[in-house]
Amino acid sequence: MVDGMTKQAQGVDTDLPGKPTSASRTTLSHIMTGSDTNLLGTVHGGVIMKLVDDAAGAVAGRHSEGPAVTASMDEMAFLEPVRVGDLVHVKAQVNWTGRSSMEVGVRVLAERWNESTPATQVGSAYLVFAAVDADGKPRPVPPVIPETERDKRRYQEAEIRRTHRLARRRAIKELRARRAAEDPEAP
């Protein structure tokens, strides 16, 4: 519940009890090795993206108490290069929930494995997961309950991202429908 709004008031129908943000928050840590590098000698973006997806998937599964699949990844930002020998920490939490979907926010931090300097943020991403049943069909997820002011801000920002994702999807469908009506032979 954010600012007194219940899931019913938001148009989401669920009888599942809400879960606090902290209930599924997690950190995945991994030391980067030579096998993780690209031709420039830094860690492949794809390696970082896999860690991001793994951590976010764990959070989504924990929050929804079952299988959840990646539906989309938004705004993957690489802020600094990651090097061999860096200890990478991928921190993830559920920012927002719908009926069967969840936005998971992820921060990627890196620190030298052999130094006592603070970790630096090297990346961030937002992923949307859909909770699925044994047949791969969407299933309801518990509402997320933001606990801190930061959690509330993340929830509100996630709602804005969701609105933009839905508007973009609608606009693309409309454009394709118009083009198909104008030229049925076009691919």
Question: Each residue of 134-184: pLDDT tens digit?
Answer: 999 999 999 999 999 999 999 999 999 999 999 999 999 999 999 888 887
Question: Beta strands 68-78 and 101-112: pairing type?
Answer: unpaired
Rounded CA-CA distance 182/174 in Å is: 12
Residues 80-137 have pLDDT tens digits of: 999 999 999 999 999 999 999 999 999 999 999 899 889 999 999 999 999 999 999 9
pLDDT (tens digit, 9 = 90+) per residue, 1-20? 444 444 433 445 568 899 99
Tokens 């409309």, residue?
174
Q: Where are the domains of the chain?
A: 19-182
pTM for the whole thing? 0.86
pLDDT band (50, 70, 90) for residue 74: confident
Antiparallel, parallel or unpaired: β 19-20 and 144-145: parallel
Which residues lie below 8 Å from residue 145, measured CB to CB, with a gap of 6+? 1, 18, 19, 20, 21
Distance CA 145, CA 162 (A): 18
CATH architecture assignment, domain 19-182: Roll (3.10)
